[in-house]
Structure formats: structure tokens, C-alpha cells
Amino acid sequence: MNPKQRRLAGALTLALVALTVVASVAVRVPGLTPGLAASLCFAAVIAAALLISWGAEAAQFFVSQGLAVAVIALLQVVPEFMVEAVIAWQAGKSGRVDLVFANATGSNRLLTGFGWPLVFLVTDLFHRRKGRGPLPFLELRPEHVVEVAALLVASLWYLVILAKGSLGLADSLVLGGAFFLYLWVLHRLPAEEEEEIEELIAPARALATTEPAWRRAASILALFALGGVAMWAVADPFLTAMKEVALAVGVSQFAFVQWVAPFLTEFPEKVTAVYWARTVKLAPMALLNLISSTVNQYLALVAMVPIAFALSAGHAVPIPMVGFHKVELFLSFATTLYGVACLAKLRFTRGNANLMLALFLLQFFWQGEISLPGGLFGLPTGAVSAHLLVAWAYVAAAAGEIALHRKEIRLFAALRETAAHVRR
């Protein structure tokens, strides 16, 4: 980096540090109006999440690969983790579980249904602007099959949860164990090359190239600590502010927590992904970043929820699911199933991006229930959730994707190749 770029990156980092501290303290001042409290919470969450994200990106080049993977994987879900922990804790105290699955299901679907197509469309835009014509697909490397396989296994466990009708500590044990197994496999894969430091976003690159080494390490650790403390400080006011804003604008609290909270907490990941997506070379890294974040949420985030709920309730008790919970979880599973079907060939095509975005927008704007006339598709007359129909559309799209590209599927060959590397 030249000196001017370093000064600008440093100034931006310091500005976000100041915003994080001021907003985190100010949000606890008594007598704030709901609108001002919400604005301060949103500012603190976005600023803290960006600082954590930059620190994590810089840290991956200066610690052992296993430690880097573990730290980055955990830090990527810190914002969603804090919000969902507060929701689960409050549910354990009150016994009201209606918001428990809101943030988790919204996070998954935003990352997959909106984030993946966003990466493709941004890359395609820059590809066209350079006079290279439409972009046909994004291609992942064979070792990226680890994330794809982990995503499939993690999402399939949602079917087990749906079959039981509850989320409990046994699920935490399975998902938590799968998370550490996933980290161990990644630990066995090659580390990132140091020359890729130049491909980081400017503030993260400035951190990664800070000298001497003790100052670099102290700066990164300070950002982690500040971001974590800020997230803890505003998590409860953040959730309260979202509920009050939802009431003020006439939107259900579940929908507001499901969509607005994940959008804010995932903002840094999407900024990084869009930054990388400007070039075809880095676009697969951008897509992989969102895939990895989804895996972390399916495993670590969901594993945490029953633990927080049980600690708050004071005894081990599973979280029961009501009807709309089951529909939302099934829709999250179906979204991910189609995503895995798309990546089974280790390519994400234009058609995949367009269909995934179309189905995401359909579920976002088409909510509630619809009445089906008797005999339509063999279904009885009655009200059917629009989200349930969209979920089955995802399942049908996944089956069609596998059937259409069955001769191109590279998932199993890549798994065998990666397993051989892990054994070595």
C-alpha cells in the first residue's frame, strides 16, 4: 500500500472505532426515543461487525491455519450469534418462543437466496464493462467441496429437527460436533498464500501489512475485543429497538427480526463479497465467503440456541416449534438444498443465479396464506402457506438441477480427492 492509501484506511478504521464506542455507550442513555435508540444500535452493530470482519481477514495470514479457520469461522457469526443468543435467553425466561427461529432462518436465506446471486450479478456487470461479454458461470476449486458437503449435511439436520418438532441439547451436541469436525477438515487443507494479502479490502490490507509484528497483532486483537464488547453491549437494546420499530411501522416482529436484523449483521460479509466480486479471479472467493458463513450459521449458531434457552430456563428443556416455525425451517432447508444442487458441479451458472434470486424475491414479497380450490394438484380445499409453496418450488428446482446436470456432477470425485489430501 502507498502511504496515502494507508492513511485513508487508518482514518476509516479509527472513525469506525469512534462510532462503535460512542453508539454503544449512547444507546444505554435513559430516555432515548425508539427511533434514536434504533439508529444508534444499527450504527453500532454495523461498525462493530465491519471491524471484526477486517480483523479476521487480516488475521488469517499470521496465525496457524487451524487457529485462523477457527477464529474467522466464529467471528463471522458473532453479530447473528449475539442477536440470536438474546432472543433465546429471553425466550427461556418468558416461555415465548415465537421469535427464536426468526434471525437464524432469515440469515440463512439472505446469504444463500440473495447473497449468492448478488456475487454473480456484480461479477457479470464488471465482466461486461470490460468488454468480455456475459459471464457464463463462477467455478469453485475442488477443495471447496468441503464447504458444499458441510452445507448439505448441516441443512439435512433441519429435517431431523422438523421431524422431532423441537430443537434441543441433543441437536446442539450433533451440530456442535459437526462444526468442530468441519474446522478440523479445513485445518488439514492448504493455507492461503501470503501474496493474496494484496487482494484484501483496504482497511484489512493495512492491518495485515502493519509493522512491527507486535503492533499488527495488538491492533487485530484490539479490534476483536472492541467489536465483541460492542456486540455484547448493544445486543439487548438492538433487539428491543427492532421490536419497537416493527410496532411503529406496522410490521410483525417475527418478520422484522427475520429480515432487518440479518441484513444489518451480515452487512460486512456482503461488502467484502461485492468487493471481491469485481473480478472473475476473486469472485469464487466471494461466493465461498458467503457459503462458509452459511455453514457457520447452520452449525455453530443453531447449536448455541438450545444452550442459551436451557441456561435461561434453568433446566434442560427443548424448544418447541409451532406451525409457522416448521414452514420457515423447511423453507430455509429447501433454499440450501437448491444451493447445494447448483454447486454439485462446482459451478454456479447464470441460470442458477437468476432462478435463486427470483425465488428469493417471491418468498420475500409473497407471504401469508392462499386458498386453494378443491382438487388443485390433488390438494384439499383450504389455506396453504405461500412460503410452503415456495419451499416446494426450491425442492423441485433442486431435483431439476441434478437431473439436468447429472453428467457434470463433480461433488463425489472432489470429495474423494479432498479426503485423500486430508489423510496425507
Q: What is the pLDDT of residue 376?
A: 43
The CATH number of 3-363+385-423 is which of 3.30.1330.60, 1.20.1420.30, 3.40.190.290, 3.40.50.10480? 1.20.1420.30
C-alpha cell belonging to residue 260? 432487518
Q: What is the pLDDT of residue 403?
A: 93
- Helix, coil or strand: residue 299: helix
pLDDT value for 380: 46
> Is the model's pLDDT at 382 over the cut of 80?
no
Q: Are 52 and 228 in contact (CB under 8 A)?
A: yes
398 has pLDDT over 50:
yes
pLDDT at position 240 over 80 = no
Domains of the chain, residue spans: 3-363+385-423
Label residue 377 by pLDDT band (50, 70, 90).
very low
Closest CA to 153 of 168, 174, 136, 167: 174
Whether residue 69 has pLDDT greater than 50 = no
Percent of the chain, pLDDT > 70?
A: 86
Query: What Å distances lie between residue 216 and 16, 135, 254, 329, 355, CA to CA?
Result: 18, 39, 42, 42, 44
> Please, what sign has the CA dihedral across residues 266, 261, 88, 394?
negative
Across the range 284-307, mean pLDDT stands at 85
Name 7's Cβ contacts closer than 8 Å, sequence gap at least 6: none
Average pLDDT, the chain: 80
pLDDT value for 227 = 81
What crossing angle do the helices spanning 78-94 and 253-265 adopt, rounded to 10°?
150
- Mean pLDDT for the stretch of residues 390-405: 93
Note the pLDDT of residue 356: 94
CA distances from 362 to 83, 292, 315, 376 (A): 26, 25, 40, 21
Report the distance separating Cα 214 and Cα 201, nearest Å: 22
Q: What is the mean pLDDT of residues 286-307?
A: 86
Range 406-422 average pLDDT: 77
Instruction: Band the pLDDT of 120: cuts 50, 70, 90.
Output: very high
List the single range of 27-41, 215-229, 394-408 with lowest mean pLDDT.
Answer: 27-41
pLDDT at 247 over 80: no
Residue 355 reports pLDDT greater than 90? yes
Residue 337 has pLDDT above 70, yes or no: yes
What's the pLDDT score for residue 65? 43
Q: Please give the residue that has the higher pLDDT: either 62 or 297.
A: 297
**What span, in angstroms and rounded, lies between the C-alpha atoms of 178 and 194?**
29
pLDDT for position 370: 63
Question: Strand pairing of 319-320 and 382-385?
Answer: unpaired
Closest by Cα among 305, 404, 364 to 117? 364
C-alpha separations of 154 from 73, 180, 395 in Å: 15, 12, 16
Specify the higher pLDDT residue, 260 or 298. 298
Least confident of 258-262, 372-376, 398-402: 372-376
pLDDT of residue 261: 73
Of residues 139, 138, 141, 151, the one with CA closest to residue 189: 141
Q: Which residues contact 312 (CB under 8 A, 6 or more apart)?
A: 88, 89, 90, 91, 92, 93
Q: What is the structure's pLDDT at 66? A: 43
Q: What local confidence, expressed as pLDDT, does residue 421 receive? A: 67
Report pTM. Answer: 0.79
Provide the pLDDT for residue 74. 64
Decide: residue 386, CB within 10 A, 0-12 exposed, 13-18 middle, 19+ buried.
Answer: middle
Q: Tens of pLDDT along 43-60?
A: 887 888 778 777 877 776
Asked if 91 and 312 count as a contact pair (C-beta separation under 8 A), the reply is: yes
Res 152 pLDDT > 50 = yes
The three cell numbers of residue 202 are 483496504
Distance between CA atoms of residues 68 and 70, nearest Å: 5
What's the confidence (pLDDT) of residue 147? 85
Question: What is the average per-residue pLDDT within 288-296?
Answer: 83
* pLDDT > 90 fraction of the chain, expressed in percent and rounded: 14
Top-confidence range, 8-22, 116-130, 348-362, 383-397: 348-362
Q: Which of 91-100, 129-138, 379-388 has the lowest mean pLDDT?
A: 379-388
Q: Comparing 229-243, 333-347, 367-381, which segment has the lowest mean pLDDT?
A: 367-381
- Across residues 103-109, what is the average pLDDT? 81
Check residue 378 and give its pLDDT. Answer: 45
Q: Is the pLDDT of residue 318 over 70?
A: yes
Of the two residues 193 and 423, the one the predictor is more confident about is 423
